[in-house]
Amino acid sequence: MNTADPGPGAAGSRPAEYRAARLQERLAAGPYAELALRIEFRGDAVLVRAVAGSPACRSYLLDAVAEEFTGLRVHTDIALADTGVPDHPEAVQ
């Protein structure tokens, strides 16, 4: 019996929950160490939500999601974090 991981190319043959866990592990270990990713299953579709720290990170996330969930309807809500310097002081009351 071969228990070797067939890699992301065989992702379409795996249950969606397994693919979600694999994606989260992949992103956590990847170049952006993305941990704030939410994956929800809604009927026959997958919803992925995240906040990316940069446009490059967002692009990386979108590519990884598309690769892992090949064959499924995927909806993404991946926003960019505002990392700019505030233009006014915060008013605390």
Would you say the pTM of this structure is higher than 0.75?
no
The residue-averaged pLDDT of 15-23 equals: 90
**So where are the chain's domains?**
15-80
Q: Which fold has domain 15-80?
A: Histidine-containing Protein; Chain: A; (3.30.1340)
Cβ-Cβ contacts under 8 Å for 39 (sequence gap 6 or more)? 20, 23, 24, 46, 47, 48, 49
Rounded CA gap, 93 and 42, in Å?
41
Residue 1 scores a pLDDT above 80: no
Cα–Cα dist 88/52, whole Å: 24
| CA 24 vs CA 21, 49, 55, 82, 92: distances in Å | 5, 12, 19, 23, 37
Q: How big is the chain, counted in residues?
A: 93
Mean pLDDT over residues 49-70, rounded?
92
